[in-house]
Structure 1
Amino acid sequence: MRILYGLLTAGMIAMPTALSAQETINLTVASSHPTVIPWVGMIKTHFMARTDELLAETGNYKIEWNEAFGGQLYKANATLTSVEEGITDIGWVFSFLEAAKLPLSQASSYAPFATANPPVQLEVMRELMAKNKAFRDEWEQYNLKVLGLTGTDMYDIYTKTPLTGIDDIDGMKLSAPGVLGTWLRGTGANAVDGALTTFYTDIQTGVSDGVLTLALGALPTKLYEVAPYINRFDAGVAFSGAVAINADVWNDLPAEVQVAMSRAGEYYTKAHGEDLLKRHEFALNKMVELGAEQEPPVTIVTMPAEERAAWVNKLPNIAGEWAAELESQGTPANAFLSAYMDGLRARGEKPVRDWDK
């Protein structure tokens, strides 16, 4: 009994020491968009959760997450500066709205209809982030360390009245996020700058007649209630931004935490790409289901391949114009555009238009 008591006492004495050896790190993670938006919700369910899992393997560190999703700290127009300036430690940076600061990040937006495969596109962008210095530098110059990448599912046009073809948008006001307004050039439509957080109100108040957007954003924001006609063009996918951490915060983190976050970022990127591919059809069908009783009911208007081709052919050489302007400023856009397109083609993708040729 004395021996047993001695062992128990020693264990009780040792226990607080073992527990106190674990260091708790407080970090704020935030976004402009709510967690019902899939790639934002996955910051919590995939990036944060995976980081926690990896750190728990050794028990040396634990992160106390201070969550501020859904625009609690800043709106969509301040995603980059909020991470850069440390308003949040970690946040989703919406590159669509940062064309001036992140020019190379707009390459996929100026080369539309190049791929409808989100996992492949994100794989190409992750490779470029690792190997292309100019691309990496344009993020890191703003005191950012990129952890995970985000993209979109396929884009379609949501309207209050159905379209019979791409010619019908001539004269219409269509909301689109930032640089994606360039996809409407040559069509006669007028682009209205906006984001998922503004689209519903844009249509409801008559600011726009419809929206160029993606199903995984339209479903949770209930866009189908005010724009019940989903004119399905399958316009392709685009690189939309990154989960990034303030570089000063990153540099102060222990090496083990940095490794865990890097691995969690890779996991997030891969899972996000697969999620986009799987959930696109589900989201379209779900909107039809949810809007079946409204008037008019939600309807998917499937456009033939000729209409998608007609849309692409209406566009001026937006990729060439974009690259030429950046080249005049000393940014190697031509090489980056070629690397992006080559990366897609090397993985079996067949762009509707070879923007780098």
Structure 2
Amino acid sequence: MTRTLRRLLGFAVVVFIIAALGMWRSAAAQTIKLKLSHFAPTAHNHHANVIVPWVEEVKKRTNGRVEITVFPGASLCKPTQQYDCAKSGIADLAWGVTGWTPGRFPMTSVIELPFLVRTAAVSAQILADLWEPYLQREYDDVHVLYLHTPPAVHINTHSKPIRVMDDFKGMKIRIPTAVMGNLLETLGATPIGMPANDIYQNMASKVLDGFSMPFEALPPFRLHEVSKYHTEVWISGSAAFAMYMNKAKYESLPAEVRQVLDETTSRLWYWKQVGESWDRAEVSARQVVAQRNQIYTLPAEERRRWREAVQGLDDKWAAELEAKGLPGKALVREARALSAQYGEAD
């Protein structure tokens, strides 16, 4: 082989390597497009002040490489199907209520027990503290970015106020989950399960007498238009919410992208920050509701009566979990201890 031929071959090899590296870098830098589904309207605090800023932060932290398209208002998947939406891959990410998948996340429902929390910030912190020792095992088939709850709920009605426990008799009250249903049934109401998106029509047509929700949810779902009386009681954490991610999609992402997703939703700080956003929304929404409707804060003595009436629900919930081989008793004890530690125990 002549020297000239060797040089040409060497040059060709160098060109091939450079081209291959360029193709690899180009492929590595390709835009990653993800779909995020949720059921809330765009006016809702979680869409406007949590999801949208987070999507923008992920795009910024990845230098525009990751683009997340949000599908709000159940435009991609039905409200009760957000978990399945992410698990199946219809969406890459989905934000929804864990209790809308009955029986799937029994340990997570500890946060729904009566008079456990008042603020969303403390509720999210409790969920973060319980994640590794208890809750994590429930989510093996998806990747969870964060858990949280709304602030504790109140009772909202259209025809008569709830001032004492006896007022619940004969009242059909919408509930978000089975745990909340047990709570209101114990107090004397008839619980009716349905997603938040269906409440307005059922209140307007008087199918429902009322619903359990914090104030923050009323303006975005326009529920202050179909209710008149609001009993401020902080009765329960209502329901846990999760940002699910399709597990295969998450694991297929480059390590540096997974790192951004995890760092921007770290349970060391982000879960509580999400709760704080909901608490701020609660304050402003209460003002909106008070401008047109009647808010009655339950007196301490009547609140004590309600609490005494439902105190057996902890044991009932724990026994149901123990029957499934789950550590119900230990989980209740730890959740109540955390509530006391963070200053929200009654």
Report if aligned partners of 2:50, 2:274 keep a CA contact under 8 Å in 1: no
CA distance in 2, matches of 1:42, 1:75: 22
The alignment-based identity, stated in percent, is 24
Q: C-alpha separation between the residues in 2 aligned to 1:41 and 1:279?
A: 11
Out of 274, 289, 301, the position equivalent to 1:287 is 289
1:278–1:33 CA distance, 2 compared to 1 (3 A): closer
Aligned to 1:332: 327
Which deviates more, 158-167 or 321-330?
158-167
Q: Counterpart of 2:114? A: 112
2:295 maps to 300
1:38 corresponds in structure 2 to 45
The counterpart of 2:102, out of the listed 99, 103, 108, is 99
The answer (yes or no) to whether the contact 1:186–1:316 under 8 Å persists in 2 is no
Match of 2:279 among 277, 280, 284: 277
Distance change >3 Å, CA 154–CA 316, structure 1 → 2: closer
Counterpart of 2:130 in structure 1 is 128
Question: Which one is further off, 20-29 or 83-92?
Answer: 20-29
Q: CA deviation at 1:268?
A: 4.6
Alpha-carbon separation, structure 2, partners of 1:210 and 1:256: 48
Equivalent residues in 2 for 1:21-32, closer than 5 Å: 22-32=29-39
Residue 198 and residue 239 in structure 1: after superposition, are their counterparts in 2 closer, same or farther (change >3 A)? Answer: closer
2:173 aligns to what?
174
Tell me how far 1:39 sits from its aligned partner. Answer: 2.1
1:311 counterpart residue number: 306
Q: How many Å separate the matches in 1 of 2:201 and 2:42?
A: 19
Letter in 2 for 1:326: L
* Distance in 1 separating the partners of 2:235 and 2:311: 16
After TM superposition, the score normalised by the length of structure 1 is 0.83
Distance 2:334 2:102 in 1: 19
Which of 138, 146, 149 is matched with 1:148 structurally? 146
Aligned partner letter, 2:55: M
Q: 1:92 Cα deviation (Å)?
A: 0.7
Q: 2:62 is aligned with what amino acid? A: L
SS at match of 1:319: helix
Query: Structure 1 counterpart of 2:336, which letter?
Result: M
Question: Displacement, 1:348?
Answer: 3.2
Question: Runs of 5+ in structure 2 lacking a partner?
Answer: 1-21
Instruction: Please report the TM-score for the alignment, with normalisation by the length of structure 2.
Output: 0.86
C-alpha change, 1:238 and 1:171, in structure 2 (3 Å) is closer
- Name the SS of the counterpart of 1:64 in structure 2: strand
- Does the 8 Å contact 2:149/2:238 carry over to 1? yes
* Change in 2 beyond 3 A, CA 1:236/1:318: closer
Match of 1:86 among 54, 76, 89: 89
The question of whether the paired residues in 1 share the 8 Å contact of 2:149 and 2:240 is answered with: yes
State whether residues 185 and 315 of structure 1, in contact with CA within 8 Å, keep that contact through their aligned partners in structure 2.
no
Shift of 1:95: 0.8
Give, in angstroms, the shift of residue 310 of structure 1. Answer: 1.5
**Aligned pairs (5 A) from 1:228-267:** 228-266=228-266
Amino acid at match of 1:163: I
Contact 1:158/1:230 (8 A) holds in 2: yes
CA distance in 2 between counterparts of 1:238 and 1:229 reads 19
Cα offsets for 1:22-65 (capped at 9, x unmatched): 33101111112223222233443232122223223xxxx61122
Report the number of matched residues.
320
1:293-339 Cα shifts (integer Å, max 9, x gaps): xxxxx111222112222212222511211111111111122222222
Aligned amino acid, residue 154 of structure 1:
A
Structure 1 runs not aligned, ≥5 long: 1-15, 292-297, 353-357
Partner deviation per Cα, 1:182-238 (whole Å, 9 max, x = no partner): 221222210011222111111112211111111111121111111111121222434
Specify the SS of the correspondent of 1:96.
helix
CA contact (8 A) 1:150 1:243 kept: no
In structure 1, what is the Cα distance between the partners aligned to 2:70 and 2:278? 24
Shift of the 55–102 alpha-carbon distance from structure 1 to 2, 3 Å rule, reads same
Q: Aligned equivalents of 1:74 and 1:196: distance in 2?
A: 14
Q: 1:312–1:99: structure 2 CA closer, same or farther, 3 Å change rule?
A: farther
Structure possessing the higher radius of gyration over alpha carbons: 2
Checking the alignment, whether the CA contact within 8 Å between 2:148 and 2:241 is kept in structure 1 is yes
The answer (yes or no) to whether the contact 2:104–2:138 under 8 Å persists in 1 is yes
Residues 41/168 of structure 1: CA separation in 2 closer, same or farther (3 Å cut):
same
CA distance in 1, matches of 2:78, 2:299: 37
Q: Would you say the 8 A contact 1:185–1:316 is kept in 2?
A: no
Alpha-carbon separation, structure 1, partners of 2:249 and 2:116: 36
Q: Which amino acid aligns with 2:130?
A: L
